Structure 1
């Protein structure tokens, strides 16, 4: 079965080509049915590959064939199956199938319905092909395709200026990270002579990575950090996180796919895949840990005050990705991957539930919602399951993976990062239940902005929207048990089956800390309690608290002014340099060019009048010239004087 893993990404590609051939006017039923069916078959194949790799760890291998010869080096393409990417195939195809199904009703009636599904299928194909790429060169090709698909989907409603601007912003910001990744890949290739992971890992383990101008350890650190720059861009880590909230201008199913299983997951997957490289450099791991910890806290603080339901969940994604990077940075490889898996389920659920709400009331402003639980009970209960999982309440999925990360951070001697993560956990519980209470409890707020007829007609979507919510709610509830003590830490055992490939660094575990588990649950419950006291059964007036903490509120609401800072420092500087170059071009270079032109024009004009057509005049000029030459020869060229 493992040998047929290449079919997993192929089927979404077939769906894309088929829909492309059908054209933009293809029937919606055909478009969605073909897409969902082929992606579901990919999921079944992924499940078979996942089981096969787990049953026969020795079968995990690469299947490659020759592509190009460059000088003495041969480049291969193909696919690779490991325990890590078998898990990723399963998660990506499952979430993608549910998102494609949900989109059938959410996007119904859109004049570019078929185009939307084309883009989604190409997106899924690109991510799956990235996951099973056997070398870094092939991975980079599909890495860029993922970025292209994200650009197309974020700007799908291109007629909206906000969507067009968000698409450009996401593309430009992630290109910064991609430049770092490309530099890191080239550096590894020059130092190892190969794009293949195993060759690079072997040279790292043998301390034989070398270039003439840099030592082995410094080279390893530099290459790892450059690769991590690529992950910072794709996974929206500080300081390149600013594109992800703006990407909410795309349709909500796009947000679910980007945040749960494709683009942002690619950065975490990249670091996990190249973990032996990072593990060989303590400086690189420390960088990953601190960037992850700062991102987790920063995004959680920003999410506290946002009004847009999708932007709150978007900042939640940034924060949770920070948790994953923190886990990888402190050496807890399995815990970072575990949180990637559980997060995919409950974050897809939260976005799709938010999409169900937006589909019903046609607004994204939390303060234009309220009381929807009575009209949309399935959406409410499924959203609640996702919120509890995100908040880390036992026994939901997020509790197990988040607690593992907190435990590993503390046990590896990072108390400051542990405090960051714990504060972020409190904020997470508060802001997600702030969303829950504002959306589903109370009465419509305010009635003047949310028309009564709209609210009274709000209701659940059809079965194609409800089924994905229910399935994801179940997964958000039970998926954490896969790596719990109740299951003998099944995911760790699964991932560690190929630990020797990782030069002995993948199999690190951390003993459970029951006291810490209790602390993390209490912190989450305190966050939920504060949200309830402010937005469900108000004993604290949010407006009064915001006024009392005005400065902090404004800083959070304005996203720490990072967009303004980037606007001044980067965009402003760019515009200043462009204006300076324009001025130099217009007032210096252009003036010099015109002056030179006028000089030669004047010289030509003067010479024009020397052409009289009279032979005697030419004879006099020639004689004078000859006389001058003779004089020079006598006085300057060794004459008698």
Structure 2
């Protein structure tokens, strides 16, 4: 119960304290908020010490009966996979809380911000410690609700509210599929407990296993922004930048990858589901990297980068290397949180997030520039930074299943280096192009950057012990594959600096072309989905509202009311108060009833 109290109870209690404390106490309660993610981190470290390789510990719940046909119980368990996720969530959320002290210092609504942030940590802890799909789904939906509230934090801004609604509704598509998969598993296995499901997999029909795995994958694809359900994530940049770091690194988008890893025996039994994941992952990785190349908004570029890196993780899952996927999830959490928080520091210090309005920031923001560069080195895959090891593990694992898919991922790595170093060169080198003189952020914002930069540097060396901890096999990259990866990254980096060194007018003319605009819009995928799915549904809804609701239901309800009023008025007219009229009614009634009785008796 100590683990549950630290990981779930403490953040929930802090959310309540912060909300009740209000604006007057926020200077104190925002500092107390740091205890929430630290509690999750301590719980994760404690679990690592309590579980052996492949072992689990019972935390709370119904054991074998949890999620069984006799009843659905709220239960938790602790294993190495959950411990790893708690550590990731705790570290990233702690950095986000500390960074927010400076970034959100002048914002109204800070109690709401930090309270929902604590609820976010508690929801993710529920998700990763659940011992059955029902408990996991509770955390899953709470994570979605917190994302909605934080993306739309600036609710007076129409773009923010639209982005929050879009994120909520798009991920609901995946959630419906996930519920259908849970229902199918319940009907076939008579349990939603993870151990019960895994024990039943060998006895289930192959079609049921594949269908349930694919339905769970759709749910994961919605949360983890896989093509074509990725459209909500770029718009989610309307929320505060620290929240973008949390969503992209450790909570919302990580939940889908974790779901597949948690239910891996189900996916291991379905080749069709794994092949689907591989194809979707590779497509998403390549597509999002190309789109990121055309972005001029620093945060939106990082958003498409996240989508691409999640594609790498799902490609690894599709290749059967769930350990490599979790390894890349862990390193990605460090360097992507670093890049987003560094972007927040740039926005805070330079008052813009348009890369075209930056330039020369390394001189005025040296700490931010150094930390961003560390994140760029890790993301692009330069040795000895974390991305080099985890991305190569993914590419090597995919290469064992599909050389073509591996080649696509290598090409995507080159594009990744191209867009991140193009942004780096444009923002931090050269001459200043912004109207405002940039300044370095305060220590509360730069300290988390330094911590995450250290993680981006050293986490790659933890790959082997991490895989041993979670009980996954290590994918060994060949010398030829490593050489190819190095060449791809070097080529992308060199192309980025060559591009940035060109005449600015030529670059602007090129960026104004139709092809570039099409890329910037995501190749029109969002617009196509709006035209194919959203607008027809809205048209049907408007028709139902105008015709079915107003003209039929309202008419029927109001018509019944009018008829009752008319009948009541007619009957009221008969109430004259005259005795002879009432006597006449009685006589007529007697005659009518007598006639009916005689007629019925004659039959």
What are the Cα deviations for residues 79-110 of structure 1, in whole angstroms up to 9, with x where unaligned?
31212111111111111111111111111122
C-alpha contact 1:155 1:167 (8 A) present in aligned 2: yes
Q: Do residues 494 (structure 1) and 469 (structure 2) align?
A: yes
- What's the TM-score, normalizing by structure 1? 0.86
2:581 aligned partner: 613
Equivalent residues in 2 for 1:22-171, closer than 5 Å: 22-28=21-27, 30-53=28-51, 56-57=52-53, 60-66=56-62, 73-171=70-168
**Equivalent-residue separation in structure 2 for 1:45 and 1:71 (angstroms):** 28
Residues 632 and 493 of structure 1: CA distance in aligned 2, closer, same or farther (over 3 Å): closer
Q: Is the 8 A contact 1:533 1:539 kept in 2?
A: no
Q: Could you tell me how far 1:494 is from its partner in structure 2?
A: 2.0
Provide the secondary structure at the position in 1 that maps to 2:328: helix
Deviation at 1:627?
7.7
Number of equivalent positions: 597
SS at match of 1:76: coil
Give the whole-Å Cα distance in 2 for the aligned partners of 1:272 and 1:26.
Answer: 41
CA distance in 2, matches of 1:614, 1:35: 80
Unmatched segments (≥5 aa) in structure 1 = 210-215, 484-488, 497-506
1:618–1:222 CA distance, 2 compared to 1 (3 A): same
Distance change >3 Å, CA 559–CA 375, structure 1 → 2: same
CA distance in 1 between counterparts of 2:567 and 2:45 reads 82
Quote the residue 2:516 is aligned against: 553
Asked if 1:461 corresponds to 2:441, the answer is yes
The aligned residue for residue 434 of structure 1 is 422
Cα deviation for residue 77 of structure 1 reads 3.1
Alignment match, 1:8: 7
Return the alpha-carbon distance in structure 1 between the equivalents of residues 68 and 121 of structure 2: 35
Q: How does 1:243-254 map to 2 (within 5 A)?
A: 243-254=232-243
Deviation at 1:154, TM superposition (A): 0.9
Kindly state the Cα deviation for residue 58 of structure 1 after the two structures are TM-superposed: 6.7
Contact 1:534 1:541 in 2 (8 A): no
8 Å CA contact 2:10, 2:36 repeated in 1: yes
Give the C-alpha shift of residue 138 in structure 1: 1.0
Q: Residues 116 and 156 of structure 1 are in contact (CA less than 8 Å); yes or no, is this contact kept in structure 2?
A: yes
With over 3 angstroms needed to count, the CA separation of the structure-2 counterparts of 1:460 and 1:596, relative to structure 1, is closer
1:173 maps to 2:180: no
Say if 1:521 and 1:583 are closer, same or farther in 2 by CA, change over 3 A: same
Q: How does 1:288-299 map to 2 (within 5 A)?
A: 288-299=277-288
Do the aligned partners of 2:378 and 2:456 also contact (CA within 8 Å) in 1?
Answer: yes
Equivalent residue in structure 2 for 1:277, among 263, 266, 288: 266
Whether 2:23 is the aligned partner of 1:17: answer: no
TM-score w.r.t. structure 2 length?
0.91
Residues 202-222 of structure 1, C-alpha deviations (whole Å, 9 max, x = no match): 110x32x3xxxxxx1111111
For the Cα contact (< 8 Å) 1:39–1:93, is it kept in 2? yes
Cα 1:426/1:629, change in 2 over 3 Å: same
Q: What is the CA distance between 1:531 and its match in structure 2?
A: 1.4
Cα distance in 2 between the residues matched to 1:49 and 1:608: 78
**Structure 1 residue 418: Cα displacement:** 2.5
Q: 1:198 to 1:109 in 2, by over 3 A?
A: same
SS of residue paired to 1:256: helix
Once residues 175 and 152 of structure 1 are traced to their aligned partners in structure 2, the CA distance between those partners, rounded to angstroms, is 15
State the match for 1:486 in structure 2: none
- CA RMSD after TM alignment: 3.0
Cα 1:539–1:595 change in 2 (3 A) is closer
1:624–1:304: structure 2 CA closer, same or farther, 3 Å change rule?
same
Aligned twin of 2:408: 420
Whether contact under 8 Å (2:15, 2:115) holds in the other structure is yes
Partners of 1:5 and 1:81 within 8 A in 2: no
Q: 1:59 to 1:462 in 2, by over 3 A?
A: same
Instruction: State the Cα distance separating 1:71 from its structure 2 match.
Output: 10
Task: Give the C-alpha shift of residue 478 in structure 1.
Answer: 1.6
After superposition, residues 295-374 of structure 1 pair within 5 angstroms as 295-374=284-363
- Measured at CA, do residues 326 and 601 of structure 1 come closer, stay the same or move farther in structure 2, by a change above 3 Å? same
Conserved 8 A contact 1:158-1:164 = yes
Structure 2 unaligned residues grouped into runs of 5+: none
1:519 aligned to which of 484, 508, 523: 484
Helix, strand or coil for the counterpart of 1:62?
Answer: strand
1:545 CA displacement: 3.7
Q: Where does 1:209-228 land on structure 2 (aligned, <5 Å)?
A: 209=204, 216-228=205-217
- Contact 1:437-1:532 at 8 Å conserved across structures: yes
Distance 1:196 1:586 in 2: 46
Tell me the secondary structure at the aligned position of residue 364 of structure 2.
coil
Aligned to 1:212: none
1:337, distance to aligned residue in structure 2 (A): 0.6
- Decide which moves more: 532-541 or 558-567: 532-541
1:443 to 423, 431, 440: 431
341-350 or 364-373: bigger deviation: 364-373
* Contact 2:67–2:191 (CA under 8 A) maintained in structure 1: no
Q: Residue 258 of structure 1 contacts residue 264 of structure 1 at CA under 8 Å; is this kept in 2?
A: yes
Decide whether the 8 Å contact of 1:532 with 1:538 is kept in 2.
no
Equivalent positions of 1:223-262 (< 5 A) are 223-262=212-251
Q: CA deviation at 1:609?
A: 9.3
SS at match of 2:169: helix
Deviations 1:270-306 (A, max 9, x none): 1111111011111111111112111111211211111
- Contact 1:331 1:508 survives alignment (8 Å): no
Cα distance change, pair 264–628 in 1 and its aligned pair in 2 (3 A): closer
Q: Deviations over 1:171-197 (max 9, x none)?
A: 111122112222222322232222211
Task: State how far apart, in whole Å, the 2-side matches of 1:15 and 1:596 are.
Answer: 53
